[in-house]
Structure 1
Amino acid sequence: MNVPYFDLKGQTQSIRGELDRAIAEQLDNGSFCLGPAVDAFEKAFAAYTGAKYSLGFNSGTSALHVATRILNLGPGDEVITTPFTFVATSWAIVYTNAKPVYVDIDPATMNLDPAKIEAAITPRTKAIMPVHLYGHPVDLDPILQICAKHKLALIEDAAQAHGAKYKGKPVGTFGAMSGFSFYPGKNLGACGEGGALVTNDDAIYKRAKALREHGSYERYYHDEIGYNYRMEGIQGAALGVKLKRLPAWTARRRELAHRYHALLKGTPLTLPVEAAYGESVYHLYVVRHTKRDALREYLTKNGIGCALHYPLPCHLQKCFASLGHKVGDFPVAERSAKECLSLPIYPEMTNEQQDAVAAAIKAFFATPAAA
């Protein structure tokens, strides 16, 4: 049985009629940039996260960039973050000419390790930006304590964690602000690009709203340098349709993750863990093994989709060579990058498809390539 890594077409078809109607309404009323559908989605997503405000953006990267702008970061400032995530987290920092300061990750959750943060703090540190990687919450309480002790801002990168919970409370509401991504492959994905900045702070909301729209609090009057980071009306409409399904989709992802736990128990793979403090939404189901590349090749040849998240940590990316990092600086992140493999997991996946994935993995470990 062939099993795709992701089935976005299947998800779209399952709600095609409602999507068509919602998008047609935008075509009919001409609300292509922001507008009523975006307003409605912003209110609904704020309620979903338990926040006071949600602002729609053209991407999660843009939302995080505006978050760093609101902190008035500039040359010489530093933001502590993880080297093991998608590069957009670091983009948000360097776009302000500040410096990302990396801290190694926890070997169990692969999230930023709170125990290693304080050693990286300098007089130039202005904020901490952890990532809820793969949909699993980072351990926030110790990070919040560090922020309070050193008077640092906390920005949550929740791009992969729509609906994830830390000690029973949705992520994205613990820091001054957070950024979410609605890239099509996310648990809540637009029909194109999209993102959101979430906050409980009135002043942050007002400034973020202005920065999103050319630095303007009043049309054609520009108080500061801003951006064209507005969400499209069609994306707001599509996200409004999908948000209503997100709780059910999340429940199915968690069901599939627990089935993987059972199906793959006893194999040589290191399986994902769910810390006692968190509830993961399993944006990705990432296993680890020293024979990762051979396993990936075997699965691909046998019709099983899989992917790498992420094959090269940020500190070793060519674009960040000026930071002066070298192999060995963050060994846990580097080892994870060599061993991680993302298996198919999405709400439309059938039990039979998942059984086929597990069977193929077990078959691989019976081959000489796994020795």
Structure 2
Amino acid sequence: MANVSLRNIDIAYGPVTIVKSLQMEIADGEFTVLVGPSGCGKSTILRLIAGLEPHSGGDIFIDENNVSAANPADRNVAMVFQNYALYPNMTVFENISFGMKIRKIDATEIDHAVREVAKMVGLTDHLHKRPGRLSGGQRQRVALARAIVRHPKVFLFDEPLSNLDAEFRASIRLELRQLHKKLGATMIYVTHDQVEAMTMGDKIAVLAPIAVKGTHNLMQYDTPEVIYSKPTNLFVARFIGSPKMNTFEAESSGQATIRIGDQDIAVKVKRPLPSKVIVGIRPEHVVVGAHAEGPTITGRVAVTENLGHERLVFTETKIGPITQRASDQTVCPTAGDELELTLLRHRLHFFDAVTEERIEMVSDAP
């Protein structure tokens, strides 16, 4: 397999800039997910790596070789598309083996390779069928098998699960992770679904449309754990997490005190605080009742959602709406109930209200 390096990449269509100053280093054998909203350039970046998209600046390296000007066929990458891109007039066997036949590989070798890959992805009993007789999940497996049989240096996935229903998406997610472990392959996966990103990626690149920052698209590039627990800016904090992070405005003394509602919270900071601060907290770090662990806010329940394994409580407060994630074992309040909510102090996140960048704290969490 191979490492992939994107160095100072710019992509523009005439006067419209799509990707700017992109720097990424993807390690050999790593499963990297590009995630972000529509228009952030994630599919464009994937197509650029494949050689299907031109760029106006920067260099692309695969396995330390500069492939910026190389033809797609010379990059030794395999791409799995959202719409499967199968030949409807060919059988599953013929679809999987098509590239090998084009390269004039021996028929015996083709037969062996196709059957081995078909066994790997659960298609052994479907090799004689045409795509029209397959389910969406089976068609996606054919597209996967066609990529695997090539033994590429890099696998590229462009939202491959978006056409599947929820049940198939969950099962194919698991199969892809198992396949990654089995192959030890370098895989780059594009999705707009942050749940897919969190559950699948060794590392996640959170991208935003260029208009968000104006200087670059890459908001944060790190492990799922770091991105969730220490989002580098407000965009990442709000985009990653379901339901999203609660955020509200607060004022600071400029030193080490932030006023939340009518309570002053002492914080340990690495530099003086700005006068206006955005405070964030994950729904699971909001607890019912007054506690010494953090500021308490009073509110009225607007609506609750029962998800079976958990309940979401949406409460209107004087600092803004707050969502709380509660275990299904707890007594769930109903719409109209008055609640006291405590925001766990050591779980609070702080962002500069002007720059929206994270304010680093000297952690005193236990």
Scaled by the length of structure 1, the TM-score of the pair is 0.26
In terms of fraction of residues, the more strand-rich structure is 2
In terms of fraction of residues, the more helix-rich structure is 1
Scaled by the length of structure 2, the TM-score of the pair is 0.26
Structure with larger Rg = 2
